Amino acid sequence: MEFGLLFDIGISGLIMGGIYALIAIGLNLQYGLMRILNIAHGELVMLGAYITFSLYSGLGLNPLLSLIVSGPAIFLLGLLIHRLLFQHMLQTSHSLEALEGDSLLVSFGLMFIIQNLALMIWGADLRGYAYLNEPVAFLGAVFPANRFLAFSVAILLSVGFYLFLRFSLAGKVVRAVMQDKVGCQLIGVRIFKVHRICFGLGVAMAAMTGSLLSMVFDLSPSMGLPFTVTGLIVVVLGGLGSISGSLIGGLILGVVESLGAYFTSPDLKIVISYAVFIAILLIRPNGLLGVRGRGD
């Protein structure tokens, strides 16, 4: 195989991996911090994508500018979802295992509600729009400009959020809650307020990911679940509670999928993802950077 072709495949994988990372960071905020297993996370990606599609096709709004609409709108929706569905579970669940099971069942119901609302509003037909489809060259690799733009923005958002958690006072509070919930309660931290805001931030990141994906893929109300599965794989790969692990894990999974699809078949992409998931669980259950509760 020529090095140039292998390089092209690797770059394509990194581009998708950056988007995977952004999905996983939002999911890690929910599962890594609160142990809420939100199967409806991908549906919020789908909502963000449809919001951007509607704003672009109806008002001509630039998809990048739609990030400042989809992110805050779904953040507010996330606060409402947390208040109505998950806050009581966090306050009353007698164990983490019970919380995971209850949140899994509730979010399954939420997933179907959001899917059917999307069907009512936008219909079952595939939707999409053309934006920056022209090819661009980067380090000798050629790919659509919209993919490179989506990757760049996803990486900027991911790194920006990592820096926020690492260096801001609010970020340090979140990391402290990840490390020692009881200790934070003893010094007066309002744990459930932190949970609520982090849940909102997580789904806002999902919505912004959807806005970026809308530039690249056709949209359908059922597009969310595969992204939820991918996000969970990346969370496990990088390490539960590790934001930097989600970023690295997303990039790794994107490259592995791209190489695997080339050497086998594109239809086996999801099989490759599951194979990576199982291998990590068997070889390194805590993930690549994995000590739960670090929040780094």
Instruction: Please answer whether residues 179 and 293 qualify as being in contact, where contact means their C-beta atoms are separated by less than 8 angstroms.
Output: yes
| Residue 85 DSSP symbol | I
Q: What is the mean pLDDT of residues 36-47?
A: 91
The Cα–Cα gap between 161 and 210 comes to 17
What is the structure's pLDDT at 292? 46
Mean pLDDT, the chain, whole residue set: 84
| Residue 144 DSSP symbol | E
- pLDDT band at residue 2 using 50, 70 and 90 as cut-offs: low
Asked if the model's pLDDT at residue 293 lies above 50, the reply is no
What is the structure's pLDDT at 296? 58
Asked if the model's pLDDT at residue 87 lies above 60, the reply is yes
219: phi then psi, degrees, rounded to nearest 5: -110, 145
Q: Which of 129-143, 154-168, 189-203, 253-267 has the lowest mean pLDDT?
A: 129-143
Q: What is the pTM of this model?
A: 0.88
What is the structure's pLDDT at 56? 92
